[in-house]
Amino acid sequence: MTWVVRGARLLGAEPTDLLLRDGRVQEIGTGLDAAGAQVVDADGLVALPGLVDLHTHLREPGREDAETVETGTRAAALGGFTAVHAMANTEPVADTAGVVEQVWRLGREAGHVDVRPVGAVTAGLRGERLAELGAMADSAAQVRVFSDDGRCVADAMLMRRALEYVKAFNGVIAQHAQDPRLTEDAQMNEGELAGRLGLRGWPSVAEEAIVARDVLLAAHVRSHVHVCHVSTQGSVEIIRVAKQRGFPVTAEVTPHHLLLTEDLAASYDPRFKVNPPLRTADDVAALREGLADGTIDAVATDHAPHPAEDKECEWDAAAFGMLGLETALSVVQATMVDTGLLDWAGVAERLSAAPARIGRCDTGDRAQGRPLAQGEPANLVLVDPSASGTVDARELASLSRNTPYDGRALPGRVVATFLRGRPTVLDGKLA
């Protein structure tokens, strides 16, 4: 299969052609052609390396009423992703070699993106004893990222042991930083608005206390901790200081925390209920600044599908979480590119190269997050930054409908996605 991508702006630079053959970028230049090649007209489109998501809930096995590996990875490809890391809070929990291999195999069969299973840190996500980390690392799924996401590894000794254990195979512990005692029954960001709405508050310190503890633990045992979905100004400041001191820490922010604020909770619409909660405009500004200056390494979607019955109910009873895969790049364009905080090269670093490095999938035959250069794997996305559209929840490929952006205008459109030289999306539709 040979493709010529004609006139694409590589990372936003001047138009050029790319020749994709045998799964690789064979040549970059002007006036490229090859016998029998299929052509994509990329006039006006920006070419980025295929996006890599560090934080996706695919819900299979166990909650196929919310999402399956098939539907979730279709949504990923349509969003410009070529790899996703599938979180471990499935039913059963991905805490054994058997379950992570099942998810990995389902991803291979679907074929839309590379699915990299995340393993649980503790058995059953119960926070009592370590899961079979070594067996998951040695399995066919070759797990390198471990997380109890959805829950925090609250026990400091367990967190220390997990960090020490994964050093043997260059693993990383991705922490969902939430002190459980400080957030019992918490419903939204703690503050004046929560008081007025009569919803139990979720204080910033519940996140920041765990982030502070974990960066110190990581430094102490010299092992890599990754902070999931940073949501507060204080967390950004702690991570900034930790990095200045050379601590082995990386961090991600979600698109929704870059755009939305707690004010949306005033509608009592559970589409805006998420963990960690939407915060204040000051937090949003600090997150954008942290992403721009590299304190926060990556954008990760925390795509969290829920069926209607878990979201279309009273706020208190509703599940936490939002869809994210199909809108992530548009939200990043709106918040970071169109505001002048990042250029397209910066977007490529934060949505492709950095998450691939953190996920340990930037080397080998199926390497992700590599630069768009001759000889590299032909993983790329073509985006039309001048397009604009209104999000329609009914049109999403995800099995669930819980997007916070329904009816909202967002810039940019994913036109095509290539996975190792094969189009998974063309003309904005599954190929």
| Residues labelled as active-site residues | 302
Q: Which is nearer to Zn ion, 176 or 273 (CB)?
A: 176
Name the residue number minimizing CB distance to Zn ion.
176
Least distance (Å) between residue 118 CB and Zn ion: 11
Q: Kindly state the tokens that stand for 106.
A: 């389902």
Answer whether 84's CB lies under 8 Å from 57's CB: no
Asked if residue 148 binds Zn ion (CB under 5 A), the reply is: no
339: number of CA atoms within 13 Å, CB side?
A: 17
Q: Which is nearer to Zn ion, 57 or 401 (CB)?
A: 57
Least distance (Å) between residue 376 CB and Zn ion: 32
The residues, any chain, with a CB within 8 Å of residue 184's CB and separated by 6 or more, are none
Q: Which of 314, 307, 309 is nearest to 273 (CA)?
A: 314
Asked if residue 57 binds Zn ion (CB under 5 A), the reply is: no
Asked if residue 310 binds Zn ion (CB under 5 A), the reply is: no
Least distance (Å) between residue 180 CB and Zn ion: 13
DSSP string, 298-348: EE---B----HHHHSS-GGGSPP-B--TTTHHHHHIIIIITTTS--HHHHH
Q: How far apart are CA 246 and CA 230, in angstroms?
A: 19
Answer whether 206's CB lies under 8 Å from 218's CB: no
32: number of CA atoms within 13 Å, CB side?
A: 25
Residue 373 burial by CB count (10 A; 0-12/13-18/19+): exposed, middle or buried?
exposed
| Per-residue binding letters, 96-135, with Zn ion (x by CB under 5 A) | ----------------------------------------
Least distance (Å) between residue 177 CB and Zn ion: 9
Q: Which stretch binds Zn ion (CB under 5 A): 28-36, 68-76, 169-177, 250-258?
A: 169-177
Asked if residue 149 binds Zn ion (CB under 5 A), the reply is: yes
Q: Which stretch binds Zn ion (CB under 5 A): 172-180, 277-285, 367-375, 388-396?
A: 172-180
Among residues 63, 116, 144, 176, the one that binds Zn ion under rule CB under 5 A: 176
Q: Which is nearer to Zn ion, 176 or 288 (CB)?
A: 176
Number of residues that bind Zn ion (CB under 5 A): 2
Q: Kindly state the tokens that stand for 373.
A: 């250069």
Answer whether 96's CB lies under 8 Å from 117's CB: no
Asked if residue 303 binds Zn ion (CB under 5 A), the reply is: no
Q: Which stretch binds Zn ion (CB under 5 A): 132-140, 149-157, 240-248, 333-341?
A: 149-157
Residue numbers at the binding site for Zn ion (CB under 5 A):
149, 176
